[in-house]
Amino acid sequence: MSDHKTPSAWRPATRLLHAGLERTEFGETSEALFLTSGFVYDNAEQAAKTFTGEVEHYQYSRFANPTVTALERRLADLEGAEACVATSTGMGAVSSALLSHVRAGQRVVASRALFGSCHWIVANLLPQYGVETVFVDGGDLNAWAEALSQPTAAVLLESPSNPMLDVLDLQAISDLAHKAGALVVVDNVFASPLYQKPLELGADVVVYSCTKHIDGQGRVLGGAVLGRKDWITETLQPFTRNTGNALSPFNAWVMLKGLETLSLRVDAMARNAATVADYLADAPGILSVRYPGRKDHPQYALAQKQMSGGSSMIAFEVAGGQEGAFAFMNALQLIAISNNLGDARSLVTHPATTTHMKIGAEERARLGISDGAIRFSVGLEDSADLIDDLARGIAALPQG
């Protein structure tokens, strides 16, 4: 295979197509799909030296695969990271980043506003292995300072958060975390790698569910962990390779195709989201709207500082609580009900009964997730058609 070096002057849209591209001797235009579980050796000596690390050679697709490597290189280039490991799912990325790094007797501090499964890892899984875990209000720097006033192994946070799009000060939190000796892990899914660069804002590790914007068309599952090369190779890789958290080569190939249109899709989705958020903000029966690109977002100034775009995600609250939310969603004809996000198709979900159901009513209240809250992943449809559909939902809200 021939190496394709990435010119440093290339801009993001070009890098999404060409970064890290390798072609076989057949000179294919599209990246090759190596749909194989294992690899053969020229002789027994080469096999032995591959296992000792004396020779670089693919040995088993659980460890590495050329198609997966192509995805990892392109994601690392896009993120500005030294290295990347692709995982089977986004939650595989989050769990591997934490479990590979943290030991029994250590501490993890996390923002309270996390995706439901991430919250479960911190609240339930890590304590089973003797790890102390502490949740803080992500927007309260004093709370972070207090929680990080003693040695800490890792910090986990999302910004913007799922589902209410809270924007956290990544630089300030990273500075506090590093003083406590913590590895800062940022879930950057809601911003996407196009609109926020956590590594440039002090984070050590960035995690993605590649299922979302990177595939972005509802086809395959996948995740990614990005960071320093020494941490990736010495801490993360031994864990993922030996526990089996490997991405399918087919899924990696699909995601490489998704990356080719990432900037086109995310920019168009964000434009739609801005238009739709403005409509919802003035619509009857809508109690509140959260969108980082609107000036009425509680952390608008911070979003402008650390994000280059507004996101494809909106959170809004309808009148009538759960009854109102269900009536609204059931009246939609174009926008689908699904707990996925970052898809080309517009999707809504009711966090209180789906993604954040298991954290309980008290914790949801602390996070501002009311029974009337709806998470809206805005897709590529014509914004006028989306507004027409949202009007159907508004007309179905309980009156009085």
Residue 5: its pLDDT value, please? 62
pLDDT-derived band at 4 (thresholds 50, 70, 90) equals low
pLDDT-derived band at 236 (thresholds 50, 70, 90) equals very high
Classify residue 37 by its DSSP letter: S
Summarize pLDDT for 321-372 with one digit per residue, the tens.
999 999 999 999 999 999 999 999 999 999 999 999 999 999 999 999 999 9
Residue 7: its pLDDT value, please? 76
In the chain, helix, strand, coil percent, each to 5?
45, 15, 40
Rounded (10°) CA dihedral 80, 81, 83, 87: -90
Q: How many angstroms separate the CA atoms of 189 and 226, rounded?
A: 13
**Adjacent-strand bridge partners of 348:** 337, 376
What CATH code is assigned to 263-396? 3.90.1150.10
Summarize pLDDT for 38-48 with one digit per residue, the tens.
999 999 999 99
Among the listed residues 261, 378, 385, 373, the one whose alpha carbon sits nearest the alpha carbon of residue 320: 373
Q: CATH fold of 12-258, please? A: Aspartate Aminotransferase; domain 2 (3.40.640)
Average pLDDT, the chain: 96
Question: The tokens 């003693």 sit on which residue?
Answer: 150
Residue 264: its pLDDT value, please? 97
Query: Which of 19-28, 209-218, 220-229 bottoms out in mean pLDDT, i.e. has the lowest?
Result: 19-28
| pLDDT, mean of residues 198-209 | 98
Residue 9: its pLDDT value, please? 81
Higher pLDDT among residues 5 and 168, named by residue:
168
Indicate if the pLDDT at residue 65 is higher than 70. yes
Summarize pLDDT for 259-300 with one digit per residue, the tens.
999 999 999 999 999 999 999 999 999 999 999 999 999 999
Q: Indicate the domain borders of the chain.
A: 12-258, 263-396
Q: How many angstroms separate the CA atoms of 335 and 57, rounded?
A: 47
Indicate if the pLDDT at residue 2 is higher than 60. no
Quickly list DSSP for 115-176: -HHHHHIIIIIHHHTT-EEEEE-TT-HHHHHHHTSS--SEEEEESSPTTT-----HHHHHHH
Higher pLDDT among residues 7 and 275, named by residue:
275
Residue 399: its pLDDT value, please? 82
Summarize pLDDT for 111-169 with one digit per residue, the tens.
999 999 999 999 999 999 999 999 999 999 999 999 999 999 999 999 999 999 999 99
